[in-house]
Structure 1
Amino acid sequence: MSFLLQHGYTRSTLDIPKVDREEYWCDAICQEYVKLDCNVDSESAFRGSVRGGVGLAKLRFSEVLADPQHVKRDKKLIAHSTEEDFLISFQLSQEGFVRQGGREAHLKRGSFSLYDSTEPYTLSFNKPFHQLIIQMPKEVLRQHLLEPERYTAVCIDGQQGIGAVLSNFILSLAQELNTVPNMCEDLSDNLLNMIAMAYSSSVRFNQTTDNSLLQDSLRKKVLRFIENNLAEPDLNNQKIADSQGISLRYLQKLFEGQEQSLHQLVLDKRLQKAQQILLDKQQNLSSIEQIAYRCGFNSYAHFSRSFKKHFGLSPSELRE
């Protein structure tokens, strides 16, 4: 097997002593993607290569050719990371498993799945495999697909329907990226629209309201308002409803069936904002209590408990 991507840099275990390959490989994929734990068969002469450094607007393309392995990203690794990305893995050979949010995607050749770097996940490969990965900031995909988090670890079949169209498009694009201008945003937008279409048309949810473009648009406005007002301690459902000129009852109906309640969504976004500030060395002069209040918490004790429950360690432990 060979790489589809015709340019970029390559990291490989080929010239690495066998006893050092597992450590080298873990470092290589952490540098290319996000902080991860990786386990390989230490009894075998592990082989792995990753090609990266290939971009299209705000999308990053990479490829992995490697022997069997198990990759995990847990809450502690997330707590020490600043990346907020979505990743999409396209299975080019053999099979793989993506697990996140209580779901499991069994990827076979041609299929693909989405996962979120800000939530725990595992990737498992029982045989040598080949994958193409597209990585992007979360806000980029959100401009095309409403609440992408609902679709993580959901497998899209690349052998039929829009999934097949998208898989074929991706394969062609990967081989021609070296001839495409890096900042070709129109092509990037078209790709993201196809990804959004694949999920919205192929995945079936028991949510009748999701079929309305008007309601989708309103949900996006609500989420944008929340993002822009996280520092307000009195940000609640009534205030959110008032900002959009809708009733509290309609707001609640708008978010029925979602994985998170609005209250939990606001809390998680505040915690993620606090985590970013705590990891920012330029903010070291701010006390943890000041940061909590800046993120909309009106109780330091509540902030500290919620932070440890969400990330697996306390705010002070994160700062150490």
Structure 2
Amino acid sequence: MATVVRTSSVPVGSRVAFWTESVSEAFVSLDCRAAGGHEDIQGELFVQSLGSLDLARVRATAQSVHRTPGSIGSSGEDFFLVGVQTAGSCIVTQEGRSAVIENGAFALYDTTRPYSLQLTDHFEQLVLRMPRRALEAHLPEAEKLTALAVGADPGAAQILVKTVRMLADDIEFFTPSAALAVSHGLEHLIVAGLGGLTSALSDSDSPSRIKLIQRYIMDNIRDDSLNIAAIAEQLHLSPSSVHRAFALQGQTVMGWVWQQRLEGIRQELLAGSHKGTLTELSQAWGFSDSAHFSRAFRRQFGQPPSSLLRPQNNRYRLPELRTGWSVAVGES
């Protein structure tokens, strides 16, 4: 028997909580948030078992869905999910990888590790939930294939998408024995569809990973709390993975962060766009110690930051000392 859930059955103010509880019961413990700060999610959810699998049709308004470390805990929810996009689009992020799946494409995600979904307005997604061991029995490297888009190209991937769409419409007419046989067939189609990714699979420190990390860093470059632990948590990576990605480039993570901050400060000084003191400028770029900033700037560019000040910007400098010398803030 199918489970049917509609948010229209509850008051507007209760819909996000109701939706979160419903999808958590259907899949695994999740945190759902309406897009754009709205307090309302309009959606409907149809779930039915198909032998060893569960198949759900999800239709809803824009939202983000998060599988957080806290929601994983020791819940024992050990599944892989396969999301087939049939309307709208979805960005799946897991293990530092992000994939955009649109109409006819699908992606795999692992419920034993954090992930997030960004879903556009009025989307529809068909989601297969299968036991982890069932997929890994045929595809041991499955956990490395999460958050990679598989297009509905001719072949196994296309057959899978067409089959899932058909099942979503006709699943209620299957006998138990037929449903079990079909579920086994679907498992093989999933393996075949994902198997095409293995030949192009790079290791965990691929160029795409470091680009993802660098993009996150640049988006948060002025945040003085930016560190490896924060980067790893936000991108659903282990700290060691973040370290390794930069080690392959002959760099350290925070060394690269300091380089970008120093270059940002240099560009502001050259443009004359900052109106405060050097100390304020360095703090705005995440340096808590002005002396450390000054030494680092000199090492990076071979000159103190005060040398790039325009003559009219004397407000960057401290008043003259009794010796008659003047010094820049943070300089020795």
TM-score range, shorter chain: 0.5 to 0.7
Aligned to 1:186: 181
Q: Report how far residue 204 of structure 1 moved.
A: 3.0
- The amino acid of 2:187's aligned partner reads L
Alpha carbons of structure 1 residues 136 and 206: separation in structure 2 relative to 1, 3 Å: closer
Q: Report how far residue 31 of structure 1 moved.
A: 1.2
Q: Report how far residue 177 of structure 1 moved.
A: 1.4
Aligned to 1:130: 124
- Name stretches of at least 5 consecutive residues in structure 2 with no aligned partner: 206-236, 239-332
Deviations along 1:71-111, whole A, 9 cap, x unmatched? 11111111142110000001010101111011111010010
SS at match of 1:14: helix
Alpha carbons of structure 1 residues 146 and 12: separation in structure 2 relative to 1, 3 Å: same
The answer to whether the aligner puts 1:62 opposite 2:71 as a matched pair is: no
Contact 2:105–2:152 (8 Å) recurs in 1: yes
Distance 1:173 1:199 in 2: 20
RMSD: 2.2
Runs of 4 or more, structure 1, over 3 Å off, are 41-45
Q: Report how far residue 179 of structure 1 moved.
A: 1.8
Of 164-173 and 175-184, deviating more is 175-184
Q: With CA pairs under 8 Å and 6+ residues apart, which has the higher RCO, 1 or 2? A: 1
Distance 1:152 1:171 in 2: 21
Of 151-160 and 94-103, deviating more is 151-160
Structure with greater Cα Rg? 2
Distance 2:201 2:82 in 1: 24
Distance 2:91 2:170 in 1: 28
Contact 1:38–1:70 (8 Å) recurs in 2: yes
Contact 2:91–2:101 (8 Å) recurs in 1: yes
- The amino acid of 2:191's aligned partner reads A
Aligned to 2:200: 205
Contact 1:55–1:182 (8 Å) recurs in 2: no
Q: How does 1:17-96 map to 2 (within 5 A)?
A: 17-41=11-35, 42-43=37-38, 45-52=40-47, 54-96=48-90
SS at match of 2:72: helix
The answer to whether the aligner puts 1:177 opposite 2:171 as a matched pair is: yes
- The amino acid of 1:141's aligned partner reads L
Distance 2:175 2:119 in 1: 34
- Name stretches of at least 5 consecutive residues in structure 1 with no aligned partner: 1-6, 208-256, 260-308, 311-320
SS at match of 1:30: helix
SS at match of 2:125: strand
Deviations along 1:192-237, whole A, 9 cap, x unmatched? 1111111112453367xxxxxxxxxxxxxxxxxxxxxxxxxxxxxx
